[in-house]
Amino acid sequence: MKDLRPLLEQARQDHLYRRPLVLDSPQQPEVMVDGRPMLSFCSNDYLGLAADPRVGEAFKQGIDRWGSGSGAAHLVTGHSRAHAQLEQELAEFTGRERALLFSSGYMANLAAITTLLGRGDSIVEDRLNHASLVDGARLSDARLLRYAHGDVKAAARQLQKATGEKLLAVDGVFSMDGDLADLPTLTELCRQQDAWLMVDDAHGLGVLGANGGGSLQHWHLDARQVPVLMGTLGKAFGTAGAFVAGSQELIETLIQKARTWIFTTALPAAVAEATRASLQILKEENWRRERLGELVEKFREGAMGLGFELPPSPTPIQPLIAGSAETALAWSSQLAEQGILVTAIRPPTVPRGSARLRITFSASHTDEQLQRLLVGLERLRS
């Protein structure tokens, strides 16, 4: 057997070793980490719904009615009325004919790509796409053609090289940089080349758009222009799982062919009930998105006033680029000493030389908590 110890030791030497934090509290701005109170700025709970009592109450009622587990895959006995209702509500929310639930965004992306493409086909992707989109391409056996981040001219050239069935897959909001894909231009490129356009809107849904409809609503794009939409439920929605939304034919094809759906136990029905509650809150309480906008604007003004250079991001994802993994870890450690939790993001999650602090905001953060973060960042500069 291979000796794994040298690999682990090398990760330590390269400042790339990781360990999970242990929380002793719900997901909210003030958390307990390993028994220590910390102010968190690294969660994806953008709207502050992960610990919302209304969502929790729907979860409890779901357990009372449906139990704690689904017991089987959707095609066996795992598909409850709660799942069916949530899928219908997600389809209506996204303006599509149907939606299909998955256990995670990773599984949803693998399902869509490997179902639509195979050997002899081509997939075009932004180089900063989420790992699940890249892995889906590899598992599909399709030819993977990547382009420099945000370079739509390079995307056009790659599409022109593509053969067989063509699909362009892209993050609506890039998870580590917080910037938006130029979806209107990519939509037109795909129309010209008769290619599918698939958008992973994990970090856009709930955050962007008039009622939280995400990147597509932000850009005023419809289901015809973007036929494949993936959204996750563990971020702005505050629960767990994911979905793919699209045409009747797309969803039926996934039901028949998608291995990561067919061979996976369904999410607990109680999660579906909780998500139905969070979806209603997400649509109705626009103040949450407005609050995020205020926090981002105040943070960017304050951080740039301290001399930090910020990439262009209008979203709750605000990266501070450190460069080396060692520097990112040092920054994270210095903030932790002040009781502020911002984890260091290092390769391979981001490209080598771009390790960073990935600061994220929740609608639940207060102005006082934001000011505390800025004071902590100012001390990094001294």
Residues with active-site annotation = 175, 203, 235
Residues 6+ apart with CB under 8 A from 295: 316, 361, 363, 365, 370
Residue with tokens 């970090």: 203
3-state class (DSSP) for residue 347: coil
Are the C-beta atoms of residues 323 and 308 closer than 8 Å to each other? no
SS (H, E, C) 103-156: CCHHHHHHHHHHHHCCCCCEEEEECCCCHHHHHHHHHHCCEEEEECCCCHHHHH
What gap in Å lies between CA 217 and CA 205, rounded to an integer? Answer: 9
10 Å Cβ neighbour count for 371?
12
Instruction: Tell me which residue of 145, 95, 149, 152 sits closest to 124, measured CA to CA.
Output: 145
| Cα atoms in the 13 Å half-sphere on the side-chain side of 339 | 12
As a whole number of angstroms, the distance between CA 30 and CA 364 comes to 10
